[in-house]
Amino acid sequence: MCPKKSALFYLQTLATQELQTIKTSFNSNMTTLRLKELEESSKLLTSNKQIISDSDESLQERLGNSSLLNISLNDEMRVARILEVEPYEYIHNEPYSCLLRAPFLVLLIAVEPKKTDARDAIRKTWGNESVAGGLGIVRLFFIGVNQDTQRNGSKLQHTIAEESDRYHDIIQQDYRDTYNNLTLKTLMGMYWITKYCPEAKYVMKTDSDMFVNTEYLIEKILKPKGQRTQKYFTGLHMTGYSPNRNNESKWYMPPELFPGRRYPTFCSGTGYVFSGDVAQRIYVASLIIPRLHLEDVYVGICLAKLKIKPEPPPNEHLFNHWRVTFSSCRYSNLITSHGFHPNELIQYWQDLQSNKHNPCQTTGVSAK
């Protein structure tokens, strides 16, 4: 049996992932932010000592007084400066996706480079532009690079390039596409919205193995809100969760990174929805909050820093981070379900569409 890894070893390993540090300088009251990768570095991250449990009464006060807060999150000039610096090189980008029209909904889909079948299935189902009618929807797949994409004459990278040319929905940057970089991948999505699609009304971040009833999301959850909403964030609430201190777990959180007893309330990273303005707020907040590898936890910490409280969905069964047994009746009244193969997505979506006018009058597809 291998000896257990120490927290120090874990931190050093985590720090070798594609993370960024900040150098802040002042010039005529103008803040210039430089982002620098810590690639191949064993430098430890600054501890989140200021980020404590939302069960502690002093949470907001201690977050608000954090010594890390040395820039104003509302200063548009500083935000503009931030956006001048591309954190990572774009291999494939779609900077004009929102040029002609501000979309009602942007789908930020985290996906591994090799998951070509998953991307194709999503294009044919819940990520198809037709689901939003005339409102406007933009579908974007966020991917990084790995050994398979970086080989000379890589067939996978060639396939990705062909997808990009055909569908114009690939955002690929040169960070390493790993589990520990899921936070980085999400933040690159936030950056993209902030720079290239700031007028988007709503954004959904989700994963490639999810079933998303985008029609229900739009018609029943987002459209009734009417006027443009600010500081809106919703999804499956994860409240009162304690950090996992078992260093054998993929969800292990070293106390050196997060010393608190409980995380602030966060929404499951399998699927959450927010108003377009929140993307900029989260991205800028991420520049002053030390990075964690647990993406949904980290986003929740950013929200706590911003004093944005996740709003509970109208029904607690709408967002699911587990696989819900399929029936057209059940799936016509939920937003997310987790753990699907591409062929299942297509099969269940077709069944849902064929029974959409009377979803509870038929047994539909029998599935687990």
| Predicted local distance difference test score (pLDDT) of residue 126 | 97
> Does the pLDDT of residue 335 top 80, yes or no?
yes
pLDDT tens digits along 30-53: 223 323 322 222 233 344 444 333
Residue 322 lies in a domain: yes
Q: How far is the CA of 283 from the CAs of 14, 109, 176, 215, 313, in angstroms?
A: 20, 17, 19, 28, 24
Q: What is the CATH number of the domain that holds 205?
A: 3.90.550
Mean pLDDT for the chain?
81
Residue 275 lies in a domain: yes
Query: Model pTM?
Result: 0.80
Tokens (6 digits) for 329: 């009746």
Q: What is the mean pLDDT of residues 144-166?
A: 96
363 pLDDT band, cuts 50/70/90, is low
**What are the start-end ranges of the E strands in 133-291?**
137-145, 170-176, 202-207, 210-212, 233-238, 266-275
Residue 297 lies in a domain: yes
pLDDT tens digits along 167-188: 999 999 999 999 999 999 999 9
Question: 235: domain range?
Answer: 83-361
What b/e string do you get for 80-117 counting C-beta neighbours within 10 Å, with b at 16 or more? eebbeeebbeebbbbeebbeeebbbbbbbbbbbbebbe
**What is the number of domains present in the chain?**
1
Residues in Cβ contact with 206 at an 8 Å cutoff, skipping those fewer than 6 apart: 107, 108, 109, 110, 212, 270, 271, 272, 336
| Predicted local distance difference test score (pLDDT) of residue 265 | 96
